[in-house]
Chain A
């Protein structure tokens, strides 16, 4: 039965911003429609502490758990925000269990592990379906199916009579097609029976063909009354049968690396994803916007501030920030500026890549996580630096948090992604054509009043970044309130050495071979350690070194810190010696 498709809700059960509580074969489901129309069918259990997601909040793009406010994106069910640790990007792999879902005949269909395509029912393909009221029954699906063979109703043209002739046709295990004939008119209804639990079901009847508007209410009432009578008969029959044990649906274990504390951001570098360029357009002078769509399956969850690596046709790899709003997972949208002295990165995207082309990208990584516990968030963008801040602004906007987006651009025609800016409305402000001095003056004004629990995010050209940091410091903003994206590590990483690592606290000795990183080896052996950028740029995977001489290949540690030799970034750094002893 777990391989079959079953209806689990009526489409009309899912108005926007509602979370439907369903159940199939003993497994509870939280079912919700995102504002764009997409229907999510998820296991009714927050991965964090098992709280039912059906009591959570559907905000149109994400579902928020009621217990600790974790947010999960539509489509992927991936966690996008953990409020208890506002400065961390949640691990990409925190993902609730979700099930494939389709809407057909006015019903939502899913299955535990459905084999094959959602089957069609011929009679319903021939005419428009008309959904009747669905009825839960306290009886097994088998009993309901059996007793549907005694069910009767009148054809639509003869509602006031009785005694219509009924023809029943079986249609697979959980579907019966009944036709009522009287006085030359016929009405056909398809009854789908959803096995809710061992002794509970829902009858979901769909009429073949839509009745005349004037009689619709009568038709609905007629069928509801008839089905209610049937339900009474079924339930009294069920009461005479021995009671059945409720079904128990197995809960999947979470991946091992999520089961250990502490976890900040963790994740492994995965093989690149192949995506297609679905849309490419000029969004401003010198800036093209590109939307990538998945070729097979769902794009992974991202968080505001995240970027992807794009593998370009000419072999180069470049990072681009995602501009998507929360829950927007049908595509990834990036902005690419044609750099005057491009070494072939942006030029390649501008000139060579066309709509329909297939390119490889990485999963989104987030080195620039957005806190949402800020009383006011100031976003400062310079030119193309607006891209990660657009994602942040949309998240803040959608969560009703106070923010302002200051967008510095050369001129009006250099302002990219106007549609998004228009949706954001009053909280965004463009500062056009300012000289460096003018920019500094404007920044002074913007950053004039640091407040308690307020944060600044800045992304733009180097000099502007520097100016922002300097002015913010002058004005009394604490260091940890001013955020900018980590520098990317451009070092050529040498991973040819092989050596041993001794884990002092775990009393383990492991071998790191060439082509592997220390971090990977740790993960393979179930040792959990936070990491984020995995390119030696963010400092998350720093580990204390007790013995041995590290070969630093990161860009995070300062020269002085490297000299000390008492810590290292295990995602890229290694040793030229035989072994390292680490404080893990």
Chain B
């Protein structure tokens, strides 16, 4: 059984919940009072993760931290189709890794801006917003050309990968950080597609997409 050290309002914890829900894998969630309790900084929690952050998973005694690393592990282990983490296709694997790194960027800009607005983290908000817009411009352009090729996701796979799930929450909640998506129509369409993936769940702050048109 997987144990997830979790806070409901954390995008990085949500990434795990989302993948686990899509893969239909059962897990136990241990709520961490991230805020206002700052429990992840407690001596007790640091015994679980010395870096003092969430998420952390423990799977049958195997412990792993850092959102994108956990996604990689969970997809590799629990997706028998191999599509969420396409390890057997060098091109797709390369692209997945590339876009996972991109997600580090969106986390450090868009999601950081959200922490500033919501919880008062002391960051230079203008720098974060500018950084996020720069990344969003690149993502919108990329997704627009993907659509022209008849592809729906950030990699060239016909199937979504963990890279989509890694980027999605930072983007979907960007407006909480004061980063509008009005200028990114291709991103907005992609967020509809992600929200229509079977097994998708929301996190507080986002709504489900309208049901897709019947095929």
> Does B145 belong to the interface (CB within 8 Å)?
yes
Contact pattern, B 171-205, Cβ under 8 Å of A = 1, otherwise 0? 00000000001110100110010000000000000
Return the chain B residue nearest A60 by Cβ. B213
Give A136 to B192 CA distance when docked, in angstroms: 21
Question: What are the residues of chain B within 8 A of A224 when measuring CB–CB?
Answer: 141, 145
> A15 contacts B141, CB within 8 Å?
no
B182 touches A59 (CB 8 A): no
Are B189 and A18 in contact (CB-based, < 8 A)?
yes
Residues of B within 8 A of A64 (CB): 210
List the B residue with the shortest CB-CB distance to A58: B210
Given the interface pairs A18-B192, A23-B182, A224-B141, the reply to whether A66 lies near B207 with Cβ below 8 Å is yes
- Judged by a CB distance under 8 angstroms, whether B144 is at the interface is yes
Shortest distance between the CB of A332 and any CB in chain B (Å): 25
Asked whether B182 lies within 8 Å of A217 as measured between CB atoms, the reply is no
Contact partner of A17 (CB less than 8 A), chosen from B144, B181, B182, B211, is B211
Which chain A residues numbered 127 to 178 have a C-beta less than 8 Å away from chain B?
Answer: 133, 136
What chain B residues lie within 8 Å of A20 (beta carbons)?
A: 185, 188
Report the bound CA distance from A220 to B185 in whole Å. 17
Q: Closest CB-CB distance, A70 to chain B, in whole Å?
A: 15
Of the candidates A10, A55, A220, A221, the one whose C-beta lies within 8 Å of that of B207 is A55
**By the criterion CB–CB under 8 Å, are A9 and B210 in contact?**
no
Q: Which of A17, A22, A59, A60 has the most CB of B within 10 A?
A: A17
Q: Is A57 an interface residue (CB 8 A)?
A: yes
User: Does the CB pair B182–A21 fall under 8 Å?
Assistant: yes
Interface centre among B144, B182, B209 (most CB of A within 10 A): B182
In the bound complex, residues from chain A placing their C-beta under 8 Å from that of B148 are 217, 220
Q: How far is the CB of B194 from chain A (nearest CB, A)?
A: 13
A60 proximity list for chain B (CB < 8 A): 213
**B36 interface residue (CB < 8 Å to A):** no
Given that A18-B192, A21-B181 are contacting pairs, would A220 and B210 also be in contact in the complex, using a CB cutoff of 8 Å?
no
Considering only CB atoms, which chain A residue lies closest to B180 in the complex? A21
Number of residues from B at the complex interface, CB < 8 A: 19
CB closest chain-A residue, reference B140? A136
Contacts of B188 in A (CB 8 A): 18, 20-21
Given that A15-B189, A21-B188 are known contacts, is A133 also in contact with B144, CB under 8 Å in the complex?
yes
* B212 close to A (CB within 8 Å): yes
Residues of A within 8 Å of B192, CB to CB, are 17-18
B83 to chain A, nearest CB (A): 23
How many A-B pairs have beta carbons closer than 8 Å: the answer is 53
- Chain A residues with Cβ below 8 Å from B144 are 133
Asked if A35 lies at the interface with its beta carbon under 8 angstroms from chain B, I say yes
Residue of A nearest to B213 (CB): A16
Closest B residue to A22 by beta carbon equals B182
A window 5-61: CB within 8 A of B:
9-10, 12-13, 15-23, 28, 35, 55, 57-60
Contacts of A18 in B (CB 8 A): 188-189, 192, 210
Smallest beta-carbon distance A83→chain B, Å: 16
Beyond A13-B185, A15-B189, is A57–B210 a contact (Cβ under 8 Å)? yes
Measured CB to CB, the closest approach of chain A to B215, in angstroms, equals 11
Residues from chain B with a CB closer than 8 A to the CB of A221 are 145
Q: Which of B145, B183, B211 contacts A220 (CB 8 A)?
A: B145
Contacts of A12 in B (CB 8 A): 147
Q: How many whole Å from A46's CB to the nearest CB in chain B? A: 14
Q: Are B212 and A133 in contact (CB under 8 A)?
A: no
**With A and B bound together, what is the CA distance between A200 and B180 in angstroms?**
13
Per-residue CB proximity of B101-131 to A under 8 Å, as 1/0? 0000000000000000000000000000000
CB contacts (< 8 Å) of B183 on chain A: these are 136, 200, 202
Across the two chains, which residue of chain B brings its CB closest to A225? B141
CA distance A102 to B183 in the complex (A): 21
Residues of chain B contacted by A21 (CB below 8 angstroms): 181-182, 185, 188
Q: Report A170-214 residues with CB < 8 Å from chain B CB.
A: 200, 202
* A10 CA to B207 CA, complexed, in Å: 25
Shortest beta-carbon distance from B87 to chain A in Å = 29
Is B185 in contact with A17, judged by CB distance below 8 angstroms? Answer: no
Contacts of B181 in A (CB 8 A): 21
- The minimal Cβ–Cβ distance linking B125 to chain A, given in whole angstroms, is 18
CB distance B141 to A17 under 8 Å?
A: no
The chain B residue with its CB closest to the CB of A13 is B185
| Residue of A whose beta carbon sits closest to that of B183 | A136
B62 to chain A, nearest CB (A): 40
State which residues 17-50 of B face A: CB under 8 Å: none
A17 touches B207 (CB 8 A): no
Residue numbers in A under 8 Å from B207 (CB-CB): 55, 66
Cβ proximity bits A252-268 to B, threshold 8 Å, 1 near / 0 not: 00000000000000000
- Rounded to whole angstroms, the CA-CA distance of A450 and B77 in the bound complex is 50
In the complex, the chain B residue whose C-beta lies closest to that of A224 is B141
A59-B210 in contact (CB<8A): yes
Q: How many angstroms between the C-alpha atoms of A410 and B171 in the bound complex?
A: 59
Nearest-neighbour CB distance to chain A for B148, whole angstroms, equals 7
**Once the chains are docked, how many angstroms separate the CA of A16 from the CA of B192?**
11
Please provide the chain B residues from 125 to 183 with a CB less than 8 Å away from any CB of chain A in the complex: 141, 144-145, 147-149, 181-183
Q: Which chain B residues lie closer than 8 Å to A220 at the CB level?
A: 145, 148
Cβ-defined contact, A17 with B145, below 8 A: no
Q: Give min CB distance, B152 to chain A, whole Å.
A: 11
Q: Which chain A residues lie closer than 8 Å to B211 at the CB level?
A: 17, 59
- Which residue of A is nearest B147, CB measured? A12
- When chains A and B are docked, how far (Å) is the Cα of A202 from the Cα of B185? 12
Q: Could you say which residues of chain B place their CB within 8 Å of the CB of A16?
A: 212-213
Residue on A with the closest CB to B149?
A217
- Tell me the minimal C-beta distance from A395 to chain B in angstroms: 16
List residues of chain B with CB within 8 A of the CB of A57: 209-210
Closest A residue to B181 using CB positions: A21
**In the complex, the 7 A-B pairs of residues with the closest C-beta atoms, listed nearest first:** A16-B213, A57-B210, A136-B183, A17-B210, A13-B185, A17-B213, A21-B182
Identify 13 residue pairs between A and B in the complex whose beta-carbon atoms are under 8 Å apart, listed by A's number: A13-B185, A13-B189, A17-B192, A17-B210, A18-B189, A18-B210, A21-B181, A21-B188, A28-B182, A57-B210, A60-B213, A217-B149, A224-B145
Query: Which positions in A face B, CB cutoff 8 Å?
Result: 9-10, 12-13, 15-23, 28, 35, 55, 57-60, 64, 66, 133, 136, 200, 202, 217, 220-221, 224, 228
Extra A-B contacts (11), CB below 8 Å, given A13-B189, A18-B188, A18-B210: A9-B185, A10-B185, A16-B212, A17-B209, A57-B210, A58-B210, A59-B211, A64-B210, A136-B183, A220-B148, A224-B141
